[in-house]
C-alpha cells in the first residue's frame, strides 16, 4: 500500500524536489539527504517516498517503504565510510519529533555513547 504526498509536509516536498536538499543516496522507495542542522560529522535523514507520520505508521501502511528506508540506511553508512553509527526514529513531539513524516536519523563520525545522554 502507498500513500499520497501531503501538501504541507516538508519531507514530502523535499522528496518531490520542491524544497532543495543535499542528496546522499536515493532509491525507488527512499531518499537520503543531509540534515540542515547536523548533530555529528555525519547526520543524514532517510525518508520513505510515501508519507506516513512515524515509523510505526509506516510499517503498517507501507512495509516496502520501511524496508527501502532500512536498505538505504546501509547505503548511506557505506557511502559515508561509517563502521559504527546510530539510527534514530523520534516519535511524538515529546520525544523531539518535529517533522511528522517518518525519517531515520543516521548519525556518525564521532564517539557515540550508550546509553545516550
98 near ligand 5GP, rule: CB under 6 A: yes
Which cell numbers in the block locate residue 37? 542542522
The reply to whether 43 belongs to the active site is no
Residue 106: its H or E element: strand 104-108
Q: What is the distance between the alpha carbons of residues 98 and 72, in angstroms, rounded to a whole number?
A: 22
Among 63, 74, 92, 96, binds ligand 5GP (CB under 6 A): 96
90 touches which of Zn ion, ligand 5GP, none (CB within 5 to 8 A by kind)? ligand 5GP
Among 3, 26, 87, 97, binds ligand 5GP (CB under 6 A): 97
In degrees, rounded to 5, the angle at the alpha carbon of residue 14 between the alpha carbons of residues 9 and 17 is 125
Residues β-bridged to residue 26 = 31
37 touches which of Zn ion, ligand 5GP, none (CB within 5 to 8 A by kind)? ligand 5GP
**Residue 111, Cβ neighbours under 10 Å: how many?**
6
61 touches which of ligand 5GP, Zn ion, none (CB within 5 to 8 A by kind)? none
Amino acid at each position: 500500500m502507498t500513500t499520497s504526498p501531503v501538501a504541507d509536509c516538508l519531507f514530502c516536498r523535499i522528496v518531490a524536489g520542491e524544497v532543495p536538499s543535499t542528496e546522499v543516496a536515493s532509491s525507488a522507495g527512499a531518499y537520503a539527504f543531509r540534515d540542515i542542522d547536523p548533530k555529528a560529522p555525519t547526520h543524514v535523514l532517510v525518508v520513505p517516498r510515501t508519507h506516513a507520520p512515524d515509523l510505526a505508521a509506516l510499517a503498517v501502511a507501507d512495509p516496502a517503504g520501511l524496508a527501502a528506508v532500512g536498505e538505504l540506511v546501509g547505503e548511506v553508512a557505506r557511502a559515508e565510510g561509517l563502521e559504527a553509527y546510530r539510527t534514530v526514529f523520534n516519535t511524538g513531539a515529546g520525544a523531539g519529533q518535529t517533522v511528522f513524516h517518518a525519517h531515520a536519523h543516521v548519525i556518525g563520525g564521532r564517539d557515540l555513547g550508550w546509553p545516550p545522554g
